[in-house]
Every structure is written in C-alpha cells, then in structure tokens.
Structure 1
C-alpha cells in the first residue's frame, strides 16, 4: 500500500493525514462493525478517524477500538492518531460547548 498523503498544520512541523476514515455505520451506533472497521483500517496505516457524538454515535466505540489496538500493538500510542468529531446543533450554545467538548474528549 502506498503512503497516505498528509498536510502540514499551520506553522508547525506537525502533519495530519489528508484522508480521514468515516465511522458512520448503519444502524447508527453499530459498535462491533465500527470496532472491526477501525482495527482493519489501522492495519492499513490509517491514522485519522472521523466521528460524531450524536449522529454516528461512534465516539465511545472509537475509544474502545483504540484501547484494543494498543493491546494488539497495532499502534504504540494514542498520539499517533487524529480523531475529528462534530458539535451537535443543540450543543452550539455558549453554555453547552465546553461540556460537549469534554464529553468528546473522554
């Protein structure tokens, strides 16, 4: 497999993979399907995953898959990965953003 293209982040030397693996599965929240998909894509050297707390219901499952990947030595550290997610419309209010962010980071 060829390398996955990356783009430089701002003025740093850090890079992020340009393609993220989407974690939506039907029915939404299909945790075993998501876990298996993440483990398989980690074997293919994907390191960028896209989640959504409300719509995809995949954030917790991604965390579980990462923990399993660490046990299997598919990755050495969580710092190898980029996880992007989405702020749900109902959380886009000044009094809810921080809590939604904290939930995503768990």
Structure 2
C-alpha cells in the first residue's frame, strides 16, 4: 500500500530518546513531493525530539505500517509550504513552525 492522500492523520511511532521504548502519537501529516511531513510550534514535543535523536520512525496509517528515516527540515521556505498545506485557508498556516521530513523506505 502507498499513502495517496495529501493531508492525513496517521500515528507516528518514534523511539524514546530516554527510555528507548516506542512512543506513538496521532498527528496531522502532509504528503508532499514523495515525503511525509510533521510539524509543530516548538521543538519541545516528545515525538519531535525523539525523531531528531532517533531518526528511524514508523508511520501507521489505516491497516498498514510504513518505515522511514526522519530529519529536521532546515529550509524555512519548505517549512512554510508545509504549514500552508497542513492548514489550508487557516490563519495558523502563517505561523512559524519546526518540521520533520520522513523519507519512507
């Protein structure tokens, strides 16, 4: 199976940076140019810090499990584009966010 939706709500599973245990959280995600993006206001969330520390992640969506490699997005224009796609027509699309990019295996 392949993820075909541009905007969807999967479960992101990261490896805890302190415990080493799996940490699962449902998030709004953006599928853009063959990559999956997750973002938030500040880099203080557990899932965000876990993905930066342990970039091997899983994405559970519908009845499928996807595996991939996460990395911090440093391109501010790309982060801005992801916010616009994540929150179409909403005021919060203009807010500065930190973004993780996942390249699926």
TM-score by length of structure 1 reads 0.27
Larger strand share, 1 or 2: 2
Larger helix share, 1 or 2: 1
Max Rg structure: 1
Q: Which has the higher contact order (CA 8 A, sep 6+)?
A: 2
